[in-house]
Amino acid sequence: MSGTQGVAEGITHPPIDDLLAKTDSKYSLVIYAAKRARQINAYYSQLGEGLLEYVGPLVETHVQEKPLSIAMREIEAGLLTAEQVDPSELTPADVRPGTPATSVAVEAIEDTDLDADTEQE
């Protein structure tokens, strides 16, 4: 069979071993890349509406490249950092309204505040 075949990118590039070196575990890598891919997807969705709430891709993208592939290339290039956040340290100002995780975090903050008020009395 002769001819040229495109080399599949995405999950094979960047290599998974390089990505795992940048995170604590394969599970944190999955969450890290998925969250960034959702941000990239939301960025493209908001472009037509004129809203710029999210940051666009930080690497050069190709036509029809999937957000997850873009996110993994950003992680491999060291353009993103991931930090562990303790929900008890969040304040309502740190949390963006309207997201399911935000609702849980706000409830946790409110519960923590109520517990603190009860202990002071």
In tens digits, the chain (121 residues) has pLDDT values of: 555 656 555 456 788 888 889 888 899 999 999 999 999 999 988 887 877 788 889 999 888 899 999 999 999 999 988 787 788 887 777 666 655 444 444 444 444 444 444 444 4
Q: Within a domain: residue 27?
A: yes
Give the residue ranges of DSSP H helices in 1-99.
Answer: 16-20, 26-47, 67-77
Neighbours of 56 (CB within 10 A): 13
Pair (94, 44) in one structural domain: no
My answer on whether omega of the bond before 14 falls inside 30° of 0, hence cis, is yes
For residues 70 and 121, state if they share a domain: no
- For the beta carbon of residue 76, count every other beta carbon within 10 angstroms: 17
- Residue 50: both structure tokens together: 């004129």
Q: Domain total for the chain?
A: 2
Considering the domain architecture, whether residues 74 and 18 belong to the same structural domain is answered as yes
From CA 119, how far away is CA 121, in angstroms rounded? Answer: 6
Q: Which residues form the domain of 34? A: 8-84
In a domain, 3, yes or no: no
In a domain, 113, yes or no: yes
